[in-house]
């Protein structure tokens, strides 16, 4: 199991021996992010990374979404299998409060942790998983929140978002990609971000940013679309969840803005793949149609 090198995560206790996640078969190639953050020399601090895939059954728009079939396999199987290919995860599991999802994950040999049904979001499930594992003596320095409804998640996305927290002074990390055109940035459902020259987030918005004086889309402007994945320093995650709502958070309905408003730093890694998330049954039907037509391929299909 790959281990991360860090320059900035200080005052950690010595990590226990790694737990080996159940992993899908993968080739021996490694992304640049995995190579940068894997391993540590003698006397250097070893940073352990936990990957958590929150999955709930009772979605209003799409009940039982994690169990919906893509190419004949449950969506959660695709997400978990792809996530376990990330070479810098020391442990990867599904977090759920539903016994049907628990049974499905166990059926394909995956790791699953049952969480309290009272939680309102996946971030709270991530914290409960971390705390349960820590009570068992299995501590982690970086926690990656992997969206369960992104069956096309790329392993190097997970490696990158873990690396940017482990090797910087950021308390959170996320990913963004260059926008593909006007339709990609005009919807309020597509979150945009602006960054400083070092890759730290200045702001996240549902509005078109950067915004010009004409108030219209400019094809010569570099717009960035935020992706759904997040990473956290494990000592910051409890603070994040307990932080009160902020003005910028409620104005945009974007929880990460309270972090910036409170003076903490979020670093953003840049990738170039457009991740196919599934929010509705109609989007699922479209994905299955494209798979059947050969327009897209699942990298883990077997």
Please give the pLDDT value at position 195. 98
Q: Which residues pair with 20 in a beta bridge?
A: none
Q: What is the pLDDT of residues 77-122, one digit of tens each?
A: 999 999 999 999 999 999 999 999 999 999 999 999 999 999 989 9
Give the start-to-end residue ranges of the domains of the chain: 49-293
For residues 85 and 21, give the distance between their C-alpha atoms in angstroms, rounded to a whole number.
10
Contact 73, 290 (CB under 8 A): no
Closest CA to 141 of 160, 162, 119: 162
Q: DSSP string spanning 53-92?
A: EE--S--SSSTTGGG-EETTEEHHHHHHHHHTT-TT-SEE
Please give the pLDDT value at position 58. 84
- From residue 260, alpha-carbon distances to 144, 266, 272 in Å are 19, 7, 25
Q: State the pTM of this model.
A: 0.84
Residues of the chain with pLDDT under 70: 1-44, 299-302
Contact 66, 57 (CB under 8 A): yes
For residues 121 and 29, give the distance between their C-alpha atoms in angstroms, rounded to a whole number.
34
User: Would you state the structure tokens that stand for residue 178, as one six-digit string?
Assistant: 């260059």
Query: Domain 49-293 carries which CATH code?
Result: 3.90.550.10
Please give the pLDDT value at position 46. 85
Rg for the chain (alpha carbons), in Å? Answer: 19
Please give the pLDDT value at position 29. 42
Please give the pLDDT value at position 295. 85
Please give the pLDDT value at position 60. 79
């Amino acid at each position: 199991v790959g281990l991360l090198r860090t320059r900035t995560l200080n005052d950690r206790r010595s990590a226990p021996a790694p737990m080996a996640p159940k992993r899908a078969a993968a080739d021996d190639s490694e992304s640049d992010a995995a190579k940068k953050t894997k391993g540590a020399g003698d006397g250097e601090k070893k940073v352990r990374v936990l990957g958590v895939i929150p999955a709930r059954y009772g979605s209003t728009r799409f009940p039982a979404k994690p169990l919906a079939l893509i190419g004949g396999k449950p969506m959660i199987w695709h997400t978990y299998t792809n996530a376990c290919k990330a070479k810098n995860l020391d442990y990867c599991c599904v977090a759920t409060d539903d016994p049907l999802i628990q049974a499905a994950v166990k059926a394909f040999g995956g790791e699953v942790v049952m969480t309290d049904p009272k939680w309102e979001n996946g971030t709270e499930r991530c914290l409960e998983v971390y705390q349960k594992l820590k009570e068992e003596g299995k501590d982690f320095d970086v926690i990656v929140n992997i969206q369960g409804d992104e069956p096309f998640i790329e392993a190097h996305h997970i490696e990158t978002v873990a690396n940017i927290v482990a090797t910087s002074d950021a308390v959170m990390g996320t990913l963004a990609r260059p926008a593909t055109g006007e339709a990609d940035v005009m919807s309020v459902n597509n979150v945009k971000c602006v960054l400083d020259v070092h890759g730290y987030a200045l702001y996240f918005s549902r509005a078109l940013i950067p915004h010009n004086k004409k108030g219209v889309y400019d094809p010569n402007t570099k717009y960035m679309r935020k992706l759904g994945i997040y990473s956290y320093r494990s000592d910051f995650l409890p603070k994040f969840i307990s932080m009160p709502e902020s003005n910028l958070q409620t104005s945009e309905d974007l929880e990460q803005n309270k972090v910036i408003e409170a003076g903490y730093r979020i670093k953003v890694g840049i990738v170039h793949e457009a991740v196919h998330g599934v929010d509705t049954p109609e989007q699922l039907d479209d994905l299955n149609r494209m798979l059947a037509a050969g327009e897209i391929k699942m990298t883990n299909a077997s």
